[in-house]
Amino acid sequence: MDLLAPDVTRIAPEGSEPAKDRAPDELASGTPEPLRTELIDLLGEDRVLTRVIDLVRYASDASPYRLLPKAVLMARDADEVAKVLAYGRRSGVPVTFRAGGTSLNGQSQSDGILVDVRRHWRGVEVLDDGARVRVKPGTVLGHANRALARYGRKLGPDPASTDIACVGGVIANNSGGMRCGVVADSYSTVRSLTFILPSGTVIDTAAASAEERFAEAEPELARGLTQIRDEIRADPRLSERIRDKFRIKNTTGYRLCAFLDGDTPVEIFRRLLVGSEGTLAFIAEAVFETVPKPSKTTVSWLHFDGIEAATEPVPALVESGATAVELMVAPALMVAAQNIAGAPQDWLELPPTSAALLVEFGAATDGELDGLVAGAEEILREHELIRTTDFTRDPERIEVSWTVREGLHGLIGRLRPPGTSLIIEDVCVPPERIAESARDIQALLTEHGFLPGVAGHTSAGNLHFMLTPDFAKQEDLDRYEAFMTKLVELILDKYDGSLKAEHGTGVNMAPYVEREWGERATSLMWRVKELADPDGVLAPGVLLNRDPGVHLRNLKTTPPIEEVATTCVECGFCEPVCPSRDLTTTPRQRIVIRREMARQPSGSPVQRALLEQYEYDGIQTCAADGTCAISCPLSIDTGKLIKGFRERERSEAAQRRAVRVAERWAGAERLARSGLRAGTVAGPLMRAGAGAARSLFSDELIPSWPRNMPRPAPAKLPATTREEAAAIYVPACVNRIFGRPRGDG
């Protein structure tokens, strides 16, 4: 048994200092009573996650914040969601919905009940030959786009997190992207929604009876929305202010333009839900109007000696028809060259202060594309580039270019000092002032001791930049607060811009909503929240918050862990490819849990519980195949981390025995196949023997013998030929032992 039994104490972190944001000792037993029993009675034991490892792995998302939920629920359908909301109203425990967990401002975190809608809320139905698509909220955006690709269509919103962000979160945050601007985002392309209000009312806005049902089931909400509509329309100055605010990207506060764009309560509320960050209702389904994909595209990296020079040609390139103009700084490109397969290696020779634009053009024919490229090159003759232009139409090079841009979050994370957090700010200014604002933001970053790099969707006036404070230090917290105060003044007073362009308000900007919108507009937003959610059960404090210091609390520390994974920024890009994502944990969660172990004092109740539960959830169920490294912008191989734990868990004697088995693996395979063959003959006896051994020793270490146990694999592999072969198949050892399951045709 020594060969099989691991010693989890061998992987306990060594010499870590207890962190101030560590999980408290009382959390070691998980969800407290009576909440645990009440939730299990509500949904069933298989829907409720209550162990400390579950609460810790859901405490983090891609933001700098961290909240430990009281319980995590896996609601399967609208009835179960309604039950959870009813429970939240009765008990006063807040409810927050989480899908992909890519929110950058704490929108998918809760210290109450967290409902995971990624696992059981997936589905794509293509309608009208791709002109429309019906999507469930837990569907990864990229999966929906792959279903639409054959029709030459795609969804309008295209955030960098396309291959991990789920549709529900994209709608809830009105997430933007490289190409959508303000004309193809969720607000502009969602045509109908099915939503569930905190009261339990379910409305399909596409149903013929939607208005009648809404007025009957929610009379106060319907009447209140109508009153706000009339007040806004009766105030020309406010109406014009609202329209001005949404002429550029803006996700600060609620979409008050819904009261100008929609006439009826259902039309207004459907629009309000876009960008509401889960604070008004749960979105159970959405129908989008899709946008066409150009059949021909070309991209080029345009390199300049600095950010200011790079932003100067942006307006002209946009005017000439560019579908995307993305800004990146040289240090991020240099990290990409080291971590992303196919990225140009000569980027390692770029001047560190240089910057580049990734410019894309799309057209229906090669001839049209030729004309667009010629126009761009004419524009660029008036600007000094440090490298020649190279517009490529090669699909592989285009894909690599966009992989680099989409991995910006993680790439910058590689540059941050050890122990620091990564905060991505997201502002928008009128596009014609992009160069001026980039210069001002760089100066502000330098003044407060942050990296002076900016990036983003320059065609829309949307700039991103990263802050890397160490929240374990009070002086860094003070520096961050001072920077935020100056940033708000700059963006609002000088540029009349948006404090949040496409990442949603979140905890980060909730205290500044009134500063951006003014008292009158903000009071209308509070009325919307109180009408839709009178008990305040849905994600309280996330989008509107009267606490001026809420953005400075619950900031997570990032204690160092094993070198292979310590640079992880918890973006979640690795999750969709993980084989165990729906069984136990994902690569991101394995790292999140490990960091919590490092936050704990040695031998604490929480650390001991995490080590014990991590054995199965983190170690045994990891495929350790390295596919997560392919999706990670930093090529972090969580499988390598786990293999290191597996090695450390076992004694030297156990390692020697394992090596002897490995050196005789052909014999081990033959022995296993022989055992399967013998067991097939003596099926009932094998089932009884396995059951007795499991009862006597361990039901985790001794396998069961199910009735449909696969027959043994053939001893010899079939003869193959390399002529006209499309791939090489390397069978895993499990496929050399187990054959086809019984009944599998």
Residue-level pLDDT at 29: 97
Chain centroid to CA 700: 33
- Where does the pLDDT of residue 218 fall: very low under 50, low under 70, confident under 90, or very high at 90 and above? very high
- Where does the pLDDT of residue 543 fall: very low under 50, low under 70, confident under 90, or very high at 90 and above? very high
- Which residues on adjacent β-strands are paired with residue 204? 194
Residue-level pLDDT at 58: 97
Q: What is d(CA 501, CA 62) in angstroms, rounded to the nearest whole number?
A: 17
Segment 343-369 shows an average pLDDT of 95
- Where does the pLDDT of residue 744 fall: very low under 50, low under 70, confident under 90, or very high at 90 and above? low
- Where does the pLDDT of residue 743 fall: very low under 50, low under 70, confident under 90, or very high at 90 and above? low
- Report the range of poorest mean pLDDT among 242-246, 591-595, 632-636: 632-636
Residue-level pLDDT at 689: 84
Cβ atoms of 163 and 576 within 8 Å: the answer is: yes
- Where does the pLDDT of residue 745 fall: very low under 50, low under 70, confident under 90, or very high at 90 and above? low
- The H or E element containing residue 133 is strand 132-135
**Per residue, what are the HEC states of 521-536?**
HHHHHHHHHHHHCCCC
| Helix-strand-coil split of the chain, %, nearest 5 | 45, 15, 40
Q: Above 60 in pLDDT, residue 554?
A: yes
Segment 152-181 shows an average pLDDT of 94
Q: Between vectors from CA 492 to CA 521 and to CA 509, what angle results, nearest 5°?
A: 70
Q: Above 60 in pLDDT, residue 2?
A: no
Tokens of 513: 């909503």
Q: Above 60 in pLDDT, residue 682?
A: yes
Residue-level pLDDT at 342: 92
pTM of the prediction?
0.91
Tell me which of 488 and 714 has the higher pLDDT: 488
The fraction of the chain above a pLDDT of 90, given in percent, is 80
Tokens of 38: 């009440």
Mean residue pLDDT of the chain comes to 93
Q: What is d(CA 265, CA 600) in angstroms, rounded to the nearest whole number?
A: 50
- Where does the pLDDT of residue 452 fall: very low under 50, low under 70, confident under 90, or very high at 90 and above? confident
Q: What is d(CA 725, CA 721) in angstroms, rounded to the nearest whole number?
A: 7
- Report the range of poorest mean pLDDT among 39-43, 695-699, 722-726: 695-699
Segment 264-288 shows an average pLDDT of 98
Segment 433-445 shows an average pLDDT of 92
Residue-level pLDDT at 311: 92
The one-letter code for the residue type at 219 is: P
Within 8 A by CB and 6+ apart from 533, the residues are 197, 198, 279, 280
**Per residue, what are the HEC states of 136-164?**
CCCCEHHHHHHHHHCCCEECCCECCCCCC
Cβ atoms of 17 and 604 within 8 Å: the answer is: no
Residue-level pLDDT at 494: 97
The dihedrals phi and psi of 118, each to the nearest 5 degrees, come to -80, -40
> Could you tell me the strand order of the sheet in which 113-116 lies?
48-49, 71-73, 113-116, 95-98
For 561-596, how does the pLDDT look when each residue is reduced to its tens digit (9 = 90+)?
Answer: 999 999 999 999 999 999 999 999 999 999 999 999
Tell me which of 187 and 420 has the higher pLDDT: 187
Segment 479-486 shows an average pLDDT of 96
- Where does the pLDDT of residue 687 fall: very low under 50, low under 70, confident under 90, or very high at 90 and above? confident
For 490-501, how does the pLDDT look when each residue is reduced to its tens digit (9 = 90+)?
Answer: 999 999 999 999
The alpha-carbon radius of gyration of the chain (Å, integer) is 27
Chain centroid to CA 662: 39
- Where does the pLDDT of residue 3 fall: very low under 50, low under 70, confident under 90, or very high at 90 and above? very low
715-719, long-range: CB < 8 A, 24+ apart: 715/670, 715/673
Residue-level pLDDT at 686: 83
The one-letter code for the residue type at 705 is: W
The fraction of the chain above a pLDDT of 70, given in percent, is 98
Quickly list DSSP for 591-638. Answer: HHHHHHHHHSPTT-HHHHHHHHHHIIIIIIT----SHHHHHSTT---H
Please, what sign has the CA dihedral across residues 327, 318, 133, 280? positive
Segment 621-632 shows an average pLDDT of 93
Site of tokens 């604002």:
437
**Per residue, what are the HEC states of 160-197?**
CCCCCCEHHHHHHHCCCECCCCCCCCHHHHEEEEEEEC
For 86-127, how does the pLDDT look when each residue is reduced to its tens digit (9 = 90+)?
Answer: 999 999 999 999 999 999 999 999 999 999 999 899 999 999
- The H or E element containing residue 677 is helix 665-681
- Residue 498 burial (CB count, 10 A): 25
Q: Above 50 in pLDDT, residue 551?
A: yes
- Where does the pLDDT of residue 709 fall: very low under 50, low under 70, confident under 90, or very high at 90 and above? confident
Segment 421-440 shows an average pLDDT of 92
User: Which one, of 74, 77, 47, 102, lies nearest residue 284 by Cα?
Assistant: 77
- Where does the pLDDT of residue 309 fall: very low under 50, low under 70, confident under 90, or very high at 90 and above? very high
**Per residue, what are the HEC states of 246-260?**
CCCCCCCCCCCCHHH
Q: Above 90 in pLDDT, residue 148?
A: yes
Residue-level pLDDT at 451: 83
Q: What is d(CA 48, CA 71) in angstroms, rounded to the nearest whole number?
A: 7
The one-letter code for the residue type at 571 is: C
Q: What is d(CA 624, CA 164) in angstroms, rounded to the nearest whole number?
A: 20
Residue-level pLDDT at 415: 75
Segment 380-407 shows an average pLDDT of 94
- Which residues on adjacent β-strands are paired with residue 500? 426
Chain centroid to CA 205: 27
Burial degree of 717 (CB within 10 A; 0-12, 13-18, 19+): exposed
**DSSP type of residue 703:** P
User: Which one, of 464, 413, 395, lies nearest residue 177 by Cα?
Assistant: 464
Site of tokens 């076992």:
650
**Total residue length of the chain:** 745
Three-class SS state of 310:
helix
**DSSP type of residue 618:** I
Burial degree of 657 (CB within 10 A; 0-12, 13-18, 19+): middle
Q: What is d(CA 575, CA 577) in angstroms, rounded to the nearest whole number?
A: 6
Cβ atoms of 343 and 400 within 8 Å: the answer is: yes
Site of tokens 């002429």:
247
